[in-house]
Amino acid sequence: MFENQPKGLFALALANTGERFGYYTMIAVFALFLRSNFGLDPKWAGEIYGDFLMLVYFLPIIGGIMADKFGYGKMVTIGIIIMFLGYLLLSIPLGGNTFALAVMIGALLLIGFGTGLFKGNLQVMVGNLYDDTRYASQRDAGFSLFYMAINIGALFAPTAAVRITEYAQNHLGFTAPGEAYHFAFMVACASLVLSIAIYYLTRSTFRHTEGGGKKASVKADNAAGEPELSKEETKQRIVALLLVFAVVIFFWMAFHQNGLSLTYFADEFTQKSATGVHTMPFDVINLVMIILIVYAGFSLYESKTGKGKGISAAIIVAALAVLGYKYTQATGTVDISAPIFQQFNPFYVVALTPVSMAIFTYLANKGKEPSAPRKIAYGMIVAGVAFFIMMFASKGLLTPNEQAALAEKGQFGPLVSPYWLISTYLVLTFGELLLSPMGISFVSKVAPPKYKGLMMGGWFGATAIGNKLVSVGGYLWGDLPLWVVWTVFIVLCLLSAVFMFVMMKRLEKVAK
């Protein structure tokens, strides 16, 4: 799984892991912070949340244009510095007045612009590693591993956000509405320091991918054996990419409900505590042990030496022992905080990446591996299935406004098992693994050499539009029955899949 990959992949992945840990620590509490600190209703909180996500994913277009001119590495460094300033502003507790709101908006602009310079250009650099013919056949696998690393950072982020917030409330006296959430934003500041340190300490492994301007970038592409494209070929590739961009808009609109309507559902309609063995999924240590078992299991199967097999077996035994001990200690009750549910998506990504890679490697060896565009279409179908689960989960529940009216009286309507959301995130993750790393790989492969930065920015631009549309979940959250809310996302996902299949021949032609 890790064999025949360039060293620069792991260096860039680690640098990205630090940045993503900070980002997802912030995102885990951001929608709740908006409602608590500023007293916003679900619609306005959703609007700001969606606008911020749009900004984060739209600005890589600008970052890509700048990188095509000035170099990818330079933009990555500047981006980290700007992001740090944004998180620093966001971490200052200023209350819930107009001035505090203005400072928050300024902080979000800095974070968005910094991410725009960092995110897409780092991934272009990952793609450039595979322009070397020694690694060209490992491109899809490399992006799957890179995507897995992103989610290692995201896995620990919700727990970090919840624990630091609780500590600030219980031990530091920050009990005013919204105050404690600022400590989660401080964690993001610290994570960026780690990210830039990793980047520069490991720079020798990927420095050749940084570029130094448009001429240098084109020259490097030609040196790597990238053929000069005609105007017609360039047009065909750009059109194919635009078609894919149009589809992924609706995937991200649905997927990023995890920070909005699915978090609202966790906060308002899901049981507030778990007892006994049911507490185990909410302890991130247990999730890490499962991940270790999965990876050690693959290593045990793939190892060619007795020593390697022995180490893998020892890791499995140790992880099982920890889980066994945790099981014996799972006798009390734990509170379930809404942000903690966001740990399940990255957990599934990390745990299932080797499984998905093994499946696609097997299919590739049989000559039956689906193309990247076909995987994207399947991902849209799977995302629709995830919201079918939410439809079943919502059977018999009140509308959000009815539930809120009861909450004001200190009462609750029916609450559902947390396993509904845990199952939904599992299915959504299958869709994500089919769509996101494969989409990024597709862009890095198909993009015309002189427009690599711009086209990767285009991928994020499509994601930005999808993230802007995330706010639809906030507008639907009110008087409508919950099954209607989830049906909207089901329909959009399935229609997008149909569109992909209609355009499949054109997309697969340029992917060859």
pLDDT in tens, 311-368: 999 999 999 999 999 999 988 899 898 888 988 998 998 898 888 888 888 888 888 8
Question: Would the pTM count as exceeding 0.75?
Answer: yes
423 with 389: CB under 8 angstroms?
A: yes
Instruction: Give me the sign of the Cα torsion angle 209, 212, 215, 219.
Output: negative
Provide the mean pLDDT of the chain. Answer: 87
Asked whether residue 259 falls in the same domain as residue 302, the answer is no
Band of residue 369 on the pLDDT scale cut at 50, 70, 90: confident
- Is the pLDDT score of 270 beyond 90? yes
Tell me which of 298, 319, 334 is where a domain ends: 334
The answer to whether residue 1 is domain-embedded is: no
CATH code, 504:
1.20.1250.20
The answer to whether residue 423 is domain-embedded is: yes
Q: What is the dihedral of CA 388, 392, 394, 397, to 10 degrees?
A: 160
Cα–Cα dist 264/257, whole Å: 9
Best-predicted range by mean pLDDT (196-200, 210-214, 353-357): 196-200
- Is the pLDDT score of 133 beyond 90? no
Q: Which amino acid is at 419?
A: Y
125 with 12: CB under 8 angstroms?
A: yes
Asked whether residue 226 falls in the same domain as residue 126, the answer is yes
The answer to whether residue 186 is domain-embedded is: yes
| pLDDT score at 224 | 47
Asked whether residue 200 falls in the same domain as residue 313, the answer is no
Each residue's pLDDT tens digit, 275-321: 999 999 999 999 999 999 998 998 898 888 888 899 999 999 999 99
**Helix (H), strand (E), coil (C) string for 78-116:** HHHHHHHHHHHHHCCCCCCCHHHHHHHHHHHHHHHHHHH
The answer to whether residue 507 is domain-embedded is: yes
Asked whether residue 283 falls in the same domain as residue 373, the answer is no
Tell me which of 305, 334, 363 is where a domain ends: 334
The answer to whether residue 429 is domain-embedded is: yes
| pLDDT score at 291 | 93
Residue with tokens 């630090």: 18
The answer to whether residue 2 is domain-embedded is: no
Asked whether residue 80 falls in the same domain as residue 143, the answer is yes
Asked whether residue 320 falls in the same domain as residue 382, the answer is no
Cα–Cα dist 380/247, whole Å: 9
Q: CA distances (Å), 121 to each of 6, 64, 76, 153, in order?
A: 18, 6, 7, 19
Task: Return left, alpha or beta for 208; rule: phi > 0 is left, psi -120 to 50 is alpha, else beta.
Answer: alpha
- Is the pLDDT score of 157 beyond 60? yes
Asked whether residue 300 falls in the same domain as residue 387, the answer is no
Range of 13's domain?
Answer: 7-272+336-511
Asked whether residue 181 falls in the same domain as residue 244, the answer is yes
Asked whether residue 257 falls in the same domain as residue 317, the answer is no
Q: How many domains does the chain have?
A: 2
Asked whether residue 302 falls in the same domain as residue 377, the answer is no
Asked whether residue 357 falls in the same domain as residue 330, the answer is no
In 130-206, which residue ranges form alpha helices assigned H by DSSP?
139-171, 182-201
